Chains A and B, each alone.
Chain A
Amino acid sequence: MASVPQLQRQFIEYTTSLHNEGYLDDQFTQLQKLQDESNPDFVVEVVSLYFEDSEKLLNNLATALQQKSVDYKQVDSHVHQFKGSSSSIGAQRVASVCVHFRNFCEEKNLEGCLRCLQQVKQEYILVRNKLEALFRRMMQLEQQILQAGGSIPMME
């Protein structure tokens, strides 16, 4: 059974790697800092909202780009929104793709847009998977710590 400090390190390692690989940026850290006793599931809630919203946006995007006559204004506004919400949880890779996406919208470049759509979907799925894994890991670690007789530490 791993010791509490070891478990904690594992956890930090995992989140750090997410930052390193660019999946999450400082904004995510901000969210973590916002969580407190009055709102113990804050991060999870926010991220869940993001997932929900994102999926709608992605669907809208797909639909918009499938139209016979594509309304690039519309597409662009969806992308803009997606960029905004991705920045809210620090999903920076997703946000980055959005920037390119918007350029293609400007140029009314359908092919470019479709490619970006694929890309943005991929990045979104990636970050979603990572976050889900993170949450699961945390639950595990938490349980392990409790089982190891430790208490959940408050580290700063």
Chain B
Amino acid sequence: MTEGVNGFSSPRSDVFPAGLRVLVVDDDPTWLKILEKMLKKCSYEVTTCGLAIEALDLLRERKDGFDIVISDVNMPDMDGFKLLEHVGLEMDLPVIMMSVDGETRRVMRGVQHGACDYLLKPIRMKELRNIWQHVYRKKIHEVRDTESHEGLEEILMMRNVSEQQQSDDGYLFCGGDMTPGSSRKRKDSEHKYEDNKEFADHSSSVKKARVVWTVDLHQKFVKAVNLIGFEIGPKKILDLMNVPWLTRENVASHLQKYRLYLTRLQKDDLKTSSSGPKHPDLPPRDAAPENCTESTKVQQNEVVSSHRTPNNLNIQNSNPTIHKVDIKSNASLQPIKPKKILTGYAAKTEMSHPFESTQYPPFNSMLPTQYSWGGGSKEIQFKQEHNPPQFQVQNGFFTGLGLPAQQNTMPSFQPPDPVTGPTWSLKDHPNNMELSPFLLQGQHFSSTNVDHQYKGVLSECNDQEFLYDTLRFDYEYSTDPLEWPVIDQGLFIQ
């Protein structure tokens, strides 16, 4: 249920962004501690989590209890990208990904899956200070969406009413109702927009309370969709759902995500004949195939005036109705033709980005009592005397001293040589070089890609498998088939 208190109108808002409620998810305890400290220093309210599943539970429990999620890409119990998608679908929160791995492909995947930012470790505090912008941006966009949606709806509603009333003034009359005190003519679109804005403001303050799509709510949604299909549109779905506090916009945006999800599922269906849905709150898979054609049809219908062209892809196609989703995901579908290169590439880089499988050994069980390397007793001693009190140091002392950055101000000793860059670069990405020409190459195929993609979605033909294969150029073959869908299409959020 949406709660009345929303991110911006709570008492905290006057000291924004202080008090921003951040959920940090990282399996590395050292990083978790550091990030917690850094975020606290930014005056944010921090909650930490060592497991992705834990994080999801927390988020579900405390609906509307967080403003933003920061998660590491490599989690032992769940792929970070998957977590990202779940958060986007269920909670609609901005998610920032982190990794020590900064390879372009990874970052791209992050973006495709809907991450609003991708930070490279080691993370500096200044990077964390600004994360509030993502929360803010999302809010603004939501309001904007409301306004534009409302505008359209207003027109429709008023037209309906005016028809009923069979009077030209009906149009005006409605307008008056909606915006008390306003009797301006509606025909001027500018005015219209302004008036709608007022109305929108009212509703947007409601809308700002983020809708959390609970299992129940989602089930209602799915039922409604199954009844009438995608074509009819969010309004009808909304009506069918019969949830008073839900708005058409909520349904519309959820519908969008749902469609995406189904398209992915459908591909997955083709890939494997087995397994049921992994997650209880996701719709039953049999809903997928029948909705396939409908979803594409709706895609056709919902031509949005603002086409979002992806990175560098110039889609000049005679078919103007390619849905945003298709266009965007083309970024990942670029390398269709040079499959050979891909497999070569895949083979080479296969190991560099392993999928964190669920067979990750629990640390504890592996820990022997003796350490067999190095100089025996000394280390063991240290290990035992591990308690901080051993090395307690006064705060000021430690902080104040020993900052090599200060050296320049201490003439009494020899200015140090610049820390010689290690012979191996920390950000050693030999693969990057290969990637750029590779990507460039991919761009030439933009127009054919579009056709492939479109065909694939429509016909569920072999092409799709082919498409699917090529997508895995940076991906281990996971044992869990449901985890495949996350690669190919970025979750299109906002």
> Do A and B belong to a common assembly?
yes
**Interface residue from A63, A89, A96 paired with B426 (Cβ < 8 Å):** A96
Is the CB–CB distance between A44 and B392 below 8 Å?
A: yes
Which of A39, A50, A63, A106 touches B348 (beta carbons < 8 Å)? A106
Q: In the complex, A17 Cα to B416 Cα: how many Å? A: 8
A138 near B413 (CB under 8 angstroms)?
no
Name the residue on B nearest A99 (C-beta): B428
Question: In the complex the two chains form, what is the Cα distance from A89 to B122 in whole Å?
Answer: 9
Which residues of the partner chain B approach A99 to less than 8 Å between Cβ atoms? Answer: 424-426, 428
Q: Quick check: is B268 within 8 A (CB to CB) of the other chain?
A: no
Cβ contacts under 8 Å, A49 to chain B: 29-30, 33
Query: Which chain B residues border A63 with CB–CB below 8 Å?
Result: 366
Chain A nearest CB, measured from B431 CB (Å):
10
A34 within 8 A of B: yes
Highest count of chain A CB atoms <10 Å: which of B357, B364, B404: B404
- Structural contact, A73 and B412, CB atoms closer than 8 A: no
A87 lies within 8 A of B374 (CB):
no
Query: Which residues of chain A are near B398, meaning CB under 8 Å?
Result: 32, 35, 40, 43, 138
Q: In the bound complex, what is the Cα–Cα distance between A8 and B407 (angstroms)?
A: 12
Chain B nearest Cβ from A125, distance in angstroms: 5
Q: Is A40 touching B394 in the complex (CB atoms < 8 A)?
A: yes
- Counting chain B residues whose Cβ lies within 8 A of the other chain, the interface size class is 35 or more
CB distance from A42 to the nearest CB of B (A): 6
A85 to B34, CA, bound (A): 11
Task: Indicate which residue in A35, A81, A92 contacts B28 across the interface (CB closer than 8 Å).
Answer: A81
Partner of A34, one of B37, B386, B402: B37
Q: Is A85 a contact of B361 with CB atoms below 8 Å?
A: no
Q: Which of A16, A32, A37, A139 contacts B391 (CB 8 A)?
A: A139
Contacts of B426 in A (CB 8 A): 87, 92, 95-96, 99
B371 at the interface (CB under 8 A from A): yes
Query: Which bucket holds chain A's interface residue count?
Result: 35 or more
Given A12-B407, A59-B367, A83-B100: A34 and B38 interface contact (C-beta under 8 Å) = yes
* Interface status of B476 (Cβ within 8 A of chain A): yes
Contacts of A15 in B (CB 8 A): 401-404
- Residue in B closest to A72 when the chains form the complex, CB atoms: B351
List the B side residues contacting A55 at CB < 8 Å: 367, 371, 383
A-contacting residues, B388-436, CB 8 Å: 388, 390-407, 410, 412-413, 416-417, 419-420, 422-426, 428, 430
8 Å CB contact of B424 from A19, A80, A96: A96
A2-25 near B? 1/0 per residue, CB < 8 Å: 000000110111111101101001
Rounded to whole angstroms, the CA-CA distance of A40 and B391 in the bound complex is 11
- A-side contacts of B417, CB under 8 Å: 20
Cα of A22 to Cα of B31 in the assembled complex, Å: 21
Bound together, the chains give a CA A29 to CA B404 distance in angstroms of 8
Contact B422 A96 (CB under 8 A): yes
* Complex alpha-carbon distance, A103 and B425, angstroms: 13
**Is the C-beta of B368 less than 8 angstroms from some C-beta in chain A?**
yes
Inside 8 A of A27's CB, which chain B residues have their CB?
Answer: 122
Is A115 located at the chain interface by the 8 A CB criterion? Answer: no
Docked complex Cα distance between A99 and B427 (Å): 9
Distance of A138 Cα from B397 Cα, bound (Å): 8
Residues in chain A near residue B191, CB distance under 8 A? none
**In the assembled complex, B74 has its CB within 8 A of some CB on chain A:** yes
Question: Assuming A16-B407, A30-B124, A60-B366, is B424 touching A88 (CB within 8 A)?
Answer: no
Quote the shortest CB–CB distance from B110 to chain A (angstroms).
Answer: 16
Verify if A111 is at the interface (C-beta below 8 Å from B): no
Q: Is A35 within 8 A of B399, CB to CB?
A: yes
A130 at the interface (CB under 8 A from B): no
Kindly identify, within residues 276 to 331 of chain B, every residue whose CB is under 8 Å from any CB belonging to chain A.
none
Q: Is A77 an interface residue (CB 8 A)?
A: yes
Task: Give Cα A149 to B29, complex, Å.
Answer: 39
A11 close to B402 (CB less than 8 A): yes
| List of A residues within 8 angstroms of B29 by Cβ | 49, 52-53
A57 to B407, CA, bound (A): 35
Q: Distance in Å from the Cβ of A28 to the closest Cβ of chain B?
A: 9
Residue in A closest to B391 when the chains form the complex, CB atoms: A135
Knowing that A19-B419, A39-B37 are A-B contacts, what are 11 other residue pairs whose CB atoms are under 8 Å apart, sorted by A's residue number?
A: A8-B401, A33-B403, A40-B393, A53-B29, A56-B367, A60-B366, A77-B354, A85-B31, A106-B349, A106-B352, A107-B351
Pairs A–B under 8 Å by Cβ, sample size 24: A9-B413, A11-B402, A12-B404, A30-B125, A35-B398, A36-B41, A40-B394, A40-B398, A51-B386, A56-B364, A57-B363, A60-B363, A60-B366, A73-B357, A77-B356, A87-B426, A88-B31, A90-B122, A97-B424, A99-B424, A99-B428, A106-B351, A125-B374, A153-B397
Q: Top 9 closest A-B pairs, CB basis?
A: A155-B400, A15-B402, A106-B351, A40-B395, A135-B391, A152-B397, A84-B100, A154-B396, A96-B424
